[in-house]
A and B are shown apart, each in its own frame.
Chain A
Amino acid sequence: MATSTASKSIGPPGRRRGFWAQFLFNAWTYRYLYLMLVLPFVFFIIFRFYPMFGNIIAFKKYQLMRGIWGSPWVGLTHFNTLFDDPAFLRVLRNTVSIAAFKLLVTFPAPIILALFINEIRHMAYKRFVQTVVYVPHFLSWVIYGAILYIVLSPANGLINNIISAFGMEKVAFFQKPALFQPIVIISSLLKETGWAAIIYLATISTIDLTLYEAAIIDGANRWQLMRHVTLPGLALTIVTLFILQIGFFLNVGFEQIFILQNNMILSTADVIETFIYRVGIRQARFDFTTAAGLFNGLVGMVLVLLADRLAKRLDLSGIF
């Protein structure tokens, strides 16, 4: 489909057009397709690109009555304040730590789950397993967080009841800073792995069956089929999703962190998103936290470009 569209856009052989002439020719030829693009285009202009100009308040002392353009420039003052602020440095450390562990643990987990589910031969059981692992995704973090609080409660939570049944001392999970990040990673894993596996299962279903048949004729066992047929078939999807995910590297999940954190464990639980919410919205320091948000976005953009380049260097297709 893409090939035929591309070849048509070149036009009849022997006729060379300039860029604008070619553009107008294509625009008229495919006017209905372009027409369909108008609404999304307008949407992106209004709701995605136009608000980006607001980022300049990161370089201004934002004054409500003077507006964004009328407020005085302050250069990199907010960035200097940000990086001199011990609270932000702690927040940055926590964010990077949670993001790195999330990427290491929660990114490969759905791939592994999809591979395993694909190996299940009993269809009814396979559907049952799929349903069970998808369901937690549909619970909001508010509900899921409440369930975690109840299950992990030091007063009468299930886990602590089991711990005390073995004669051990109960653990106040949400009062120990060292336990917060593992709880975040594990709860993410339990909640989202099933849902994230869907795209890999869909990709697996598109792998040419003759590849499996050929491998079986060559004597491949199930493990070798998975390793040498299924996994390479997933490679492109894995790289694409990895690059997309790494763009949101520092977005560790506001809702989850906000619901699970409390004053006692802020030393490991305060992240950039909760910092921006608390300082930016609640304390109305919009210019200062825009600087934090801009920093967050820049890190994401750099990581995306790096990941894309790395993927190309490894002979895997990038996204640009």
Chain B
Amino acid sequence: MSAQSRFTRRQALKLMGVGTFSAYLAACAAPAGQSDMADSGDSDMPSGEKKAISISHIGGGSVEASEKSQRMMLLRANFPDIEFENRWVSYAAYLDKIPVQIASGDLADLQFCNAFNDIPLMMENQILIETGPLLEQYGQNILAVTPEGAWASTVYDGMQYAVTHNIYDLNIWCSQYRGDWLESLGLGIPETIDEYGEVLRAFTNSDPDGNGQDDTYGRLLYNSVRFDDDFFHAFGVAVGHHLNGFWRQRDGQLALDWVQPGMKDALAWMSSVWADGGFHPDSISIPLGQKDNAFRGGIAGNVYTAWSAVDFAQDQIRTVAPEATVVAGPAPEGPGGRGYTGEGWPWCFVIPTTAEYPDDCVRVIDWFFTPEIASQIICEGVLGVTNKGLNENGWCVEYTPEEKKAMGDEWSQKQNEVQDINVFWGLWLTIGTLGGVQPFPTFPADMKKHFEDMLAAKYSEESLAAQVISQEYLKITEKPRPVAADKEHWPGLQTRFGEFISQAVAGTIDLDQGWSEWLDFFEKNGGPLLTQQVNEI
């Protein structure tokens, strides 16, 4: 054998050995993935006769952290006959993940999704089972708790396709102001759109914090113009949060606000405020989602956000401005009326045709809605760590703001300890998260009182006043669910409209010309077909 082949063999064997060993080490070191967890649920695994049910849900933290949550632990403990596969999806990834899950057919037995974005594709491919009869049989607690209107977005051909919709207040949004800035400038909380514009201009140009520097702004837009419906409604139109559109009855039929003359008026008004510096000049183009941070950091004087954020924002601002106050205001009134856009209930669980045990899927979710279980897990925080745990009745108890404050650093440590544990946003949001959930209507009187008292102690008077305001000016789109033409035409219209309104506000295009071009685009790119189909629902 030649010298070269001896060398080659030795080197080859060494390399292969090292490679194999490395692969072995990598395999050993790899964390247990979802497929591993899926395998553990197979009915032919050593776990015996257990049924396997996978749950895909959106949450913060990680799959490991969600396993530590009280909801998941209770679930596993209460259903020993079921092996749950926990298919956690991060909040940051769901927009990409769910369409890919649908495309690959890799849906969980209980799949969390968005009724407007995801269900049309699922229905087009006939991969969902009807849930109406299952809910009647196994979901009485779900039905008793869920508002009637929540089901509308998942009805196709008269049949229901959702297991449950997540539950929170129909509207949580309202406009909030720096009360101390208004006072120092001698301005009141604006009632009209003109007053509102003046307030924004004054916050930017009149040194409301009195430090002699040009370092404040009226407001930050939210990553382009897509979350600013509070003043659009003054012109009788709305963009719809996240550019989701807003439909309402006009002349006997449903019409999209985006092509109404009021939209052009609203953009002209915004553009004039923009030109005067009322909006932060970066906020229309920088995707940092800084609108809330700028308000809480004492840079901006107005924000459109959840009413439940009032107390938190005030605490944050007071770290840089000790005398700061935050007050909620009514939707500014204009020639088209006034309003805040309610989000509706787009989030839900569905069951794909591949699920082996659909009746158990409904049974499992329904169990979460029983008063005994809901009363243990409805509280914000992790049981016994960032809340007080269960009381003698077995109902959870939260810390009051005063108790949290008194704990000081200990409270911060507790929060750090469990900050990544979060699970099942798709059942209901805990009290205080995104606006707060009122105690379930099915709770017995004493249980209900316990949670109502807890809720009352949790928020300041200003916050609760903000909650009332957010409900008072509620407006919600009248398009109940997606239509067939949405898939092909809506995304293109969304992109073009988003582009047009951003340019119109910043004054980089001529408004008249841009408006004509947009209307022309709408006409030629499926706008009339969409309108026709929405009216046929």
Report which A residues bind B (CB closer than 8 A): 4, 29-30, 32-33, 35-36, 39, 63-65, 85, 87, 146, 149, 153-155, 172, 174-177, 259, 262-267, 278-279, 281-286
Does B66 have its Cβ within 8 Å of any Cβ on chain A? no
Q: How far is the CA of A263 from the CA of B282 in the complex (A)?
A: 13
- Are the CB atoms of B127 and A64 closer together than 8 Å? yes
- Are the CB atoms of A36 and B103 closer together than 8 Å? no
Does B144 have its Cβ within 8 Å of any Cβ on chain A? no
Q: How far is the CA of A263 from the CA of B360 in the complex (A)?
A: 45
Q: Which 10 A-B pairs have the closest CB atoms?
A: A32-B12, A284-B99, A64-B125, A264-B502, A263-B224, A263-B502, A263-B498, A174-B285, A262-B285, A154-B281
Does B187 have its Cβ within 8 Å of any Cβ on chain A? no
- Are the CB atoms of B125 and A65 closer together than 8 Å? yes
Q: Which of A36, A63, A177, A263 has the most CB of B within 10 A?
A: A263
- Are the CB atoms of A154 and B499 closer together than 8 Å? no
Closest to A160 in B: B281
Q: How far is the CA of A268 from the CA of B284 in the complex (A)?
A: 17
- Are the CB atoms of B491 and A279 closer together than 8 Å? yes
Contact of B286 among A63, A174, A176 (CB under 8 A): A174
- Are the CB atoms of A64 and B103 closer together than 8 Å? yes
Contact of A278 among B5, B11, B15, B491 (CB under 8 A): B491
Nearest Cβ in chain B — how far from A175, in angstroms?
Answer: 5
Nearest Cβ in chain B — how far from A280, in angstroms?
Answer: 9
Q: Which residues of B contact A29 (CB under 8 A)?
A: 5
Contact of A63 among B8, B13, B125, B508 (CB under 8 A): B125
- Are the CB atoms of A35 and B508 closer together than 8 Å? no
- Are the CB atoms of A176 and B508 closer together than 8 Å? yes
- Are the CB atoms of B284 and A155 closer together than 8 Å? no
Q: Which residues of A contact B4 (CB under 8 A)?
A: 4
Q: Which residues of A contact B407 (CB under 8 A)?
A: none
Q: How far is the CA of A263 from the CA of B284 in the complex (A)?
A: 9
Taking CB atoms and an 8 Å cut-off, the chain B residues in 470-493 that contact chain A are: 487, 491-492
Closest to A4 in B: B4
Q: Which residues of A contact B105 (CB under 8 A)?
A: 64-65
Contact of A267 among B96, B103, B499 (CB under 8 A): B499
Q: Which residues of B contact A65 (CB under 8 A)?
A: 105, 125-127
Q: How far is the CA of A32 from the CA of B499 in the complex (A)?
A: 59
Q: Which residues of B contact A176 (CB under 8 A)?
A: 508
Q: Given A153-B281, A259-B287, A263-B495, 12 other A-B contacts at CB below 8 A? A: A4-B4, A35-B12, A64-B102, A155-B282, A262-B223, A262-B287, A264-B503, A282-B95, A283-B491, A284-B99, A284-B103, A284-B121
Taking CB atoms and an 8 Å cut-off, the chain B residues in 253-308 that contact chain A are: 280-282, 284-288
Q: How far is the CA of A29 from the CA of B6 in the complex (A)?
A: 11
Q: How far is the CA of A262 from the CA of B226 in the complex (A)?
A: 12
Nearest Cβ in chain A — how far from B94, in angstroms?
Answer: 11
How many residue pairs link A and B with beta carbons under 8 A? The number is 102
- Are the CB atoms of B102 and A155 closer together than 8 Å? no
Q: Which residues of A contact B8 (CB under 8 A)?
A: 30, 32-33
Closest to A264 in B: B502
Q: How far is the CA of A284 from the CA of B286 in the complex (A)?
A: 26
Does B9 have its Cβ within 8 Å of any Cβ on chain A? yes
Q: How far is the CA of A278 from the CA of B16 in the complex (A)?
A: 42
Q: Which residues of B contact A4 (CB under 8 A)?
A: 4
Does B72 have its Cβ within 8 Å of any Cβ on chain A? no
Q: Which residues of A contact B508 (CB under 8 A)?
A: 175-177, 264
Closest to A270 in B: B495
| Chain B interfacial residues counted at CB < 8 A | 43
Q: Which residues of A contact B487 (CB under 8 A)?
A: 283-285
Nearest Cβ in chain B — how far from A171, in angstroms?
Answer: 11
Nearest Cβ in chain B — how far from A154, in angstroms?
Answer: 4
Does B324 have its Cβ within 8 Å of any Cβ on chain A? no
Report which B residues bind A (CB closer than 8 A): 4-5, 8-9, 11-13, 15-16, 19, 95-96, 99-100, 102-103, 105, 121, 125-127, 223-225, 280-282, 284-288, 487, 491-492, 495-496, 498-499, 502-503, 506, 508
- Are the CB atoms of A172 and B287 closer together than 8 Å? no
Closest to B525 in A: A86
Q: Which residues of A contact B224 (CB under 8 A)?
A: 262-264
Nearest Cβ in chain A — how far from B16, in angstroms?
Answer: 7
Q: How far is the CA of A282 from the CA of B496 in the complex (A)?
A: 16
Nearest Cβ in chain A — how far from B353, in angstroms?
Answer: 8
Nearest Cβ in chain B — how far from A2, in angstroms?
Answer: 13
24 sample A-B contacts, Cβ–Cβ < 8 Å, listed by A number:
A35-B12, A35-B16, A36-B12, A36-B15, A39-B19, A63-B125, A64-B103, A64-B105, A64-B125, A65-B127, A149-B282, A153-B286, A155-B280, A155-B282, A175-B284, A175-B285, A262-B286, A262-B502, A263-B495, A263-B499, A264-B285, A264-B499, A284-B99, A284-B103
Closest to A266 in B: B499
Q: Which residues of B contact A35 (CB under 8 A)?
A: 12, 16
Q: How far is the CA of A154 from the CA of B288 in the complex (A)?
A: 15
Q: Which of A153, A155, A174 has the most CB of B within 10 A?
A: A155
Q: How far is the CA of A186 from the CA of B360 in the complex (A)?
A: 58
Q: Which residues of B contact A282 (CB under 8 A)?
A: 95-96, 99, 491
Closest to B1 in A: A29
Q: Which residues of B contact A63 (CB under 8 A)?
A: 125
Q: How far is the CA of A291 from the CA of B474 in the complex (A)?
A: 44
Q: Which residues of A contact B281 (CB under 8 A)?
A: 153-155, 172
Q: How far is the CA of A265 from the CA of B284 in the complex (A)?
A: 11
- Are the CB atoms of B491 and A154 closer together than 8 Å? no
Q: How far is the CA of A172 from the CA of B506 in the complex (A)?
A: 10
Q: How far is the CA of A149 from the CA of B284 in the complex (A)?
A: 12
Q: How far is the CA of A285 from the CA of B102 in the complex (A)?
A: 12
Q: How far is the CA of A286 from the CA of B101 in the complex (A)?
A: 13
Closest to A156 in B: B215
Q: Which of A87, A146, A283 has the most CB of B within 10 A?
A: A283
Nearest Cβ in chain B — how far from A285, in angstroms?
Answer: 7
Closest to B490 in A: A283
- Are the CB atoms of A281 and B506 closer together than 8 Å? no
Q: How far is the CA of A65 from the CA of B353 in the complex (A)?
A: 10
